[in-house]
Amino acid sequence: MKFAPGVKQLVDLALAEDLTGGDITSQATVPAELLAHAKVRAKAPGVIAGLAVAQLVCQQVDPALEWTPLVADGDSVAPSTVIATLDGPARAILMAERTLLNFLQRLSGVATLTARYVALIEGTGARLVDTRKTTPGWRVIEKAAVCAGGGTNHRLSLSDGVLIKDNHLALGGMDIAGAVRQARANAPHTVRIEVEVEDLDGVQQALEAGADIIMLDNMGLEDMRSAVERIGGRAIVEASGGITLERIRAVAETGVDLISCGAITHSAVALDISLDIDVVES
């Protein structure tokens, strides 16, 4: 099982929070030789994500633990669905329990909220993309959860694409055309140039400068429609800012190509998932 750089370290850090001094309760009350069988159950409807991370937690706690997923990342489940089983030393199961549930609940919450947004724009041709508004250290796995929910990833890091915003223009002392020229001259030729604009004048400047992607930041719906018409397919059009479940359909219907939404990561509510030990064997 391969993970992106940093995921194992993240799991180790999470386990260290719980296990620096060991599990003194289990050591005091559970026989060391006891084996157990546990079920991991979704207690609410949702989309599952993070199963491989949960498995890594188990491996790091005790290689003797056997994690068996019964669904896949991206699967929608009903309440009471058993999504995985866990077999092995009872003490190790108890040591892994909280950490694996923390990962599963958080990542499944991201996938579930993403799926709600994606369902609302079905048939419009627009795609939902995430942002860098992620939990520090969790970006890779939260963005994987976005994909599990049917969304698409924007930049993973600042090196993945040029995105010229108002602060860049102000600090660089240049207009949109100058900033795009500078980006073309200094960024790798394989990287797209995106420009954030706030009004139709900015749209025109970005278009004339040859931007590959034009981000419409906090624009009203009528201005978005006008921007899409003006751009006419000469650049990818992204809508951003104030994207909510109530508004996203109307934004998609303006004809934009992408809709970026920070809420799917920074405001997702954890999915309720539990671990229950059903059978204990000696």
Residues identified as active-site: 98, 133, 165, 196, 217
Contact 174, 209 (CB under 8 A): no
Classify burial at 72, counting beta carbons within 10 Å of its beta carbon; exposed 0-12, middle 13-18, buried 19 or more: exposed
Burial class of residue 230 (count of CB atoms within 10 Å of its CB; 0-12, 13-18, 19+): middle
| Short-list 45, 32, 157, 46, CA closest to 91 | 32
Helix (H, G, I), strand (E, B) or coil at 45: coil
Nearest by Cα to 108 from 262, 267, 270: 270
**Beta strand extents in the chain (DSSP E only):** 35-42, 46-47, 66-69, 76-77, 81-89, 127-129, 162-164, 193-197, 213-217, 236-240, 258-260, 273-281
Would you tell me how many other CB atoms lie within 10 Å of the CB of residue 235? 21
d(CA 67, CA 184): 49
